[in-house]
Homo-oligomer: A and B are copies of this chain.
Amino acid sequence: MIIQKYGGTSVGSPERIKNVVRRVAKYKSLGHQVVVVVSAMSGETNRLIALAKEMQAHPDPRELDMVVSTGEQVTIGLLSMGLMEAGLKAKSYTGAQVRIVTDSAHTKARILSIDEQNIRNDLANDIIVVVAGFQGVDQHGNITTLGRGGSDTTGVAIAAALRADECQIYTDVDGVYTTDPRMVPEARRLKTITFEEMLEMASLGSKVLQLRSVEFAGKYKVKLRVLSSFEEEGEGTLITFEENEKMEQAIISGIAFNRDEAKITVRGVPDRPGIAYQILGPVSEANVDVDMIIQNIGVDGSTDFSFTVHRNEFSKAMDILKNQVQPHVGATNVVGDDKIAKVSVVGVGMRSHVGIASKMFRTLAEEGINIQMISTSEIKISVVIDEKYLELAVRVLHKAFDLDQEPM
């Protein structure tokens, strides 16, 4: 049993939907049971949101979900028609009809449960089931949406509920790359990547898959495969949940990067228990998400405290820190910089190999790139550098870790 998810560009016109029909028909003819999850036709969601904003400056979330969820509903009907025209049996379901039950957090709902019985019955009757991605229904019958990119999550959640053999995510790229090929032409498609690596790659700005869908897949042990919907052949990238399934034994899988962040440092903070909360509490109360957090050991009873926030929230965060936090905690001053970039090397091989960090730092030093912040996890090392060195840093790291070479 295979779940296939097609994004907006893959179903962007009747012609493209017919391409999807041909691909689904191919898998069906190979004897698979197939459930197809689709997004709205590309541009449609934005068109609907624009209409909503003409009616209400800040559209009511429940009513916005009512309007926006029609996008996928159109696609499921059209795709089912196309499958029937090709002589196949097909049936469409909205999220509410499947009963993809979510909480009531309109525009960013979370899936609570999926009733898979109807789908199972249809599959047993040789029917291709077509499900609207991105949407569900709360316990009161209100239509909800999962937020942008939520169709991936729908695909994975259905794969988990049905215990499908594989969840194929069709997109406009043909897999996950060692880094962004637009920045490094030598970037290479990975045949496999582990979930942990994918999570780090996704959270660090690699836009192939929505982060939540990867978490979901990892949690429910769903095999994910990223494929191009515009190429007939190609095996894409398989995202595995067991390291020994990963055939490529490279130490580093890829270089991720992100230029959406800004850095803030609170200087001369008294080095005492509870200080981190006193600094970050007011920031998070203002709904500003904090990413990297660095605090070094103190000298003479005071320390510097640094963290990164999204660039859009930089000035908001600076205001809070200067006007509320600095006088309250008695810090010396608050400095910030929104011309930074974060670069990370990611790979499960790091666990068993020493020297990755020093190789990374040496490579950057040889190019005269100063490292402003460092943060590590078990499978990644991230550094913050001046934004203007981003491209250079990614290229030299990609080469230093032999990512342009097929691994042995």
A56 on the interface (CB 8 Å rule)?
yes
A97 to B69, CA, bound (A): 14
Residue of B nearest to A15 (CB): B54
- The segment out of A81-89, A245-253, A337-345 that lies at the interface is A81-89
Q: Verify if A299 is at the interface (C-beta below 8 Å from B).
A: no
Question: Counting CB contacts under 8 A, is A407 at the interface?
Answer: no
**Selected contact of A52 from candidates B56, B60, B81, CB within 8 Å:** B81
Question: B67–A74 contact, CB under 8 A?
Answer: yes
Q: Is the CB of A78 within 8 A of B74?
A: no
In the bound assembly, the distance between CA atoms of A84 and B57 in angstroms comes to 11
The answer to whether A56 and B85 have CB atoms under 8 Å apart is yes
Quick one: closest B residue to A71, CB to CB?
B70
Q: Contacts A64-B77, A66-B77, A78-B67: A55 and B96 contacting too (C-beta < 8 A)?
A: no
From residue A368, how far is it (CB to closest CB) to chain B in Å? 54
Of chain B, the residue at the smallest CB distance from A72 is B70
CB-CB under 8 A for A54 and B84, given A66-B73, A70-B74, A97-B141: no
**Contact indicator A81/B59 (Cβ below 8 Å):** yes
- B81 contacts A55, C-beta separation under 8 Å: yes
Chain B residue numbers with a CB within 8 Å of A85 are: 55-57
Interface presence of A194 (CB below 8 A): no
A60 partner residues in chain B, CB cutoff 8 A: 80-81, 84
Interface size class of A (residues with CB under 8 A): 35 or more
- Decide if A54 touches B14 in the complex (CB within 8 Å): yes
Question: Contact: B56 with A67, CB < 8 Å?
Answer: no
Query: Do A48 and B63 contact each other (CB < 8 Å), given the known contacts A55-B85, A56-B84?
Result: no
Given contacts A56-B84, A56-B85, contact A67 B77 (CB under 8 A): yes
Question: A76 on the interface (CB 8 Å rule)?
Answer: yes
Q: Is A403 engaged at the interface, CB distance under 8 Å to the other chain?
A: no
Contacts of A73 in B (CB 8 A): 66-67, 69-70, 73
Whole-angstrom distance between the Cβ of A89 and the nearest chain B Cβ: 11
- Chain B contacts for A97, CB-based, 8 A: 141-143
Is residue A17 contacting chain B, with contact meaning CB distance below 8 A? yes
A91→B66 CA distance, assembly (Å): 10
Interface residue A4 (Cβ < 8 Å from any Cβ of B):
no
The answer to the question of A51 belonging to the interface, with a C-beta cut-off of 8 Å to chain B, is: yes
Chain B neighbourhood of A57, CB < 8 A: 85
Do B14 and A55 have beta carbons less than 8 Å apart?
yes
Nearest to A132 among chain B residues (CB) is B66
Whether A51 contacts B78 by the Cβ 8 Å rule is yes
Contacts of A77 in B (CB 8 A): 52, 63-64, 66-67
**Cβ of A92 < 8 Å from any Cβ of B?**
yes
Chain B residues near A70: list those with CB within 8 A: 70, 73-74
Q: Tell me if A63 and B81 are in contact (CB < 8 A).
A: yes
Q: How far is the CA of A76 from the CA of B69 in the complex (A)?
A: 13
Please give the distance in Å from A69's CB to the nearest CB on chain B.
Answer: 8
| Chain A 21-61 interface 0/1 with B at a Cβ cutoff of 8 Å (1 = within) | 00000000000000000000000000010011011110110
- Known: A57-B85, A60-B84, A63-B84; 16 extra A-B contacts, CB below 8 A, are A14-B51, A48-B74, A51-B74, A51-B78, A55-B78, A59-B81, A60-B80, A60-B81, A63-B81, A64-B81, A66-B73, A66-B92, A69-B73, A70-B70, A70-B73, A97-B142
Please list 21 pairs of residues, one from A and one from B, whose beta carbons are closer than 8 Å in the complex, sorted by A's number.
Answer: A14-B54, A18-B55, A48-B74, A55-B79, A55-B81, A55-B85, A56-B82, A57-B85, A59-B81, A60-B84, A63-B77, A63-B80, A63-B81, A63-B84, A64-B77, A66-B76, A67-B73, A67-B74, A67-B78, A94-B143, A97-B143
Q: Name A's B-contacting residues (CB within 8 A).
A: 14, 17-18, 48, 51-52, 54-57, 59-60, 62-64, 66-67, 69-70, 73-74, 76-82, 84-85, 91-92, 94, 96-97, 141-143
